[in-house]
Amino acid sequence: MEFSIKINEDGGVTSPKGFTANGIHCGIRKNKTKKDLMLIMSEKDCDAAAVFTKNLVCGAPVTVSRKNLENGKARAVICNSGIANTCNADGMEKAEAMCRLVTEYTGVPAEDVIVASTGVIGPSIDIEPIKNGMEELVAGLSADGSNAAAQAIMTTDTVKKELSVSFEIDSKTCTIGAIAKGSGMIHPNMATMLSFITTDADISPEMLKKALVWCVERTYNMLSVDGDTSTNDTVAVMANGLCGNKRITDENDENYLKFRRALLKICGYIVKMLAKDGEGATKLVICSVNGAADEETAKICAKSVIRSPLVKTAMFGADANCGRILCALGYSGAEIDVSKIDIDYISRKGRITVCQGGNVIEFSEEEAKAVLLEDEIEISVNLNSGEASAEAYGCDLTYDYVKINGDYRT
């Protein structure tokens, strides 16, 4: 199915019709130059869906948001950075209080609020700075507020992540916008860190959830920075229908497939931003697996390679040691014929084959190093056993990762 998807790198959650956003420093974080509270609002009620962490130790905001989204409706997202509101006795009380503050200052019912928090796990979050900042936060809501909102959810991120895509349904221009944060503690069992998505497409909550889960499995769920699944992972989407398309209610509808493809496109771009900005990372690393017997086999293999500490450190050192890749494929748990595996390294500097038929072959170490010194590298694996494929996304593992996480709280 061919149709055009336009990417807007300057877009974000306020690119779709009817959405406003803002981000401010309210005082949760000590550094006054760092924004720490954000709000996204729709001018009308939205159909909504989300995918959350599967970590049994989950943040109170995850529990509250799960409950609020049981009816498939939402109109606002509030999120703080600095404190994760997780593993503390009053977490539920504080998460629910954040929802009530949105009601007090905007009129949106608390049960229609998605709440999220990110930062240090353990400390109790102080509601007073949030309450004191609500008037400024709401007054500053604007159609240009995506940038501020994206900044307000950053923790160890070095760059903000935001984007939008547009496409046509029923001759109507529909837009999907997103912001995200995530740099460390990323090895999702469903999603990754925090990602908030908005769209003006008209789509039922059932179809929205179906599309989101399908896309998450192929993007966010294929991302690993350090092998640690966060306690607060949330990917949430709100659709207000202001695009004016005929409501999407059937997964066999061509318009559903168009929407899902556009959602996949923006999720894929966001995931690459998250991987490239991994804590201490110097390189984006993508493992593409082709020639698999089925998609699940391809996914298992790609994720095993991308999360291997030895593969990640080899990428940091530009060391073309493909034995580490073969090792990761071998312990992945996938049923594969290791005697058929081919491996290539690819970057802007070119492509070099390092393994054929499961055996390391002679290659120019000098050429391989040049390929691996680039800041975006693809590890191409061909299993030569079928037609299925998958990609996983990650980064190199550096000295700085240890430095960042050795004194994260201090």
Of 22 and 53, the one with more pLDDT: 22
Structure tokens at 11: 């877009």
Task: Please determine, for residue 189, whether its predicted confidence score (pLDDT) is greater than 50.
Answer: no
CA distance linking residue 376 with residue 113, whole number of Å: 38
The answer to whether 161 and 270 have CB atoms below 8 angstroms apart is yes
Domain final position from 230, 257, 276 = 276
Say yes or no: 184 and 125 in one domain. yes
**Would you tell me how many other CB atoms lie within 10 Å of the CB of residue 306?**
26
Residues 235 and 255 reside in one and the same domain:
yes
The answer to whether 199 and 238 have CB atoms below 8 angstroms apart is yes
Residues 264 and 289 in one domain: no
- Beta strand spans in 224-325 (E): 234-239, 284-292
Domain closes at, from 276, 297, 331: 276
Same domain, 307 and 243: no
* 3-state DSSP percent of the chain in helix, strand and coil, to 5: 35, 30, 40
Q: What is the CATH number of the domain that holds 207?
A: 3.60.70.12
DSSP state at residue 124: P
- Residues 238-278: pLDDT tens digits? 999 999 999 999 999 999 999 999 999 999 999 998 888 87
Kindly state whether residues 33 and 110 are assigned to the same domain.
Answer: yes
Q: What is the mean pLDDT of residues 350-358?
A: 97
If you average pLDDT over residues 102-112, what whole number do you get?
Answer: 98
pTM for the whole thing?
0.86
Cα-based distances in Å from 314 to 83, 362, 379, 383, 402: 34, 18, 12, 22, 16
Q: Are residues 338 and 384 in the same domain?
A: yes
**Side chain identity at residue 291, one-letter code:** G
From residue 264, how far is each of 1, 251, 259, 398 by CA, in Å?
A: 14, 15, 9, 30
Give yes or no: residues 330 and 271 share one domain: no
Per-residue pLDDT band for 409 (boundaries 50, 70, 90) equals: low
**Whole domain around residue 150: which residue ranges?**
6-276
pLDDT of residue 65: 96
Domain end call among 241, 276, 311: 276
Cβ–Cβ under 8 Å, residues 94 and 85? yes
Residues 139 and 222 in one domain: yes
Mean predicted lDDT score pLDDT of the chain: 92
The whole-number average pLDDT for the span 91-120 is 96
What's the structural domain count of the chain?
Answer: 2
Give the per-residue pLDDT at 7.
96
The pLDDT value recorded for residue 221 is 85
- 173 counts as catalytic: no
pLDDT band, residue 86 (cuts 50/70/90): confident
Residue 172 within a domain = yes
Lowest mean pLDDT segment, chosen from 113-122, 123-132, 270-279, 365-374: 270-279
- pLDDT tens, residue by residue, 302-348: 999 999 999 999 999 999 999 999 999 999 999 999 999 999 999 99
From the candidates 192, 198, 297, 398, which is the catalytic residue? 192
Q: 223 or 209, which is more confident?
A: 209
In a domain, 1, yes or no: no
Q: How many CB atoms lie within 10 A of CB 252?
A: 6
Task: Read off the CATH number of the domain in which 391 is found.
Answer: 3.10.20.340
Tokens 């949030």 locate to 130
Sequence-distant (6+) residues with CB within 8 A of 339 are: 357, 358
Predicted pLDDT of residue 232: 53
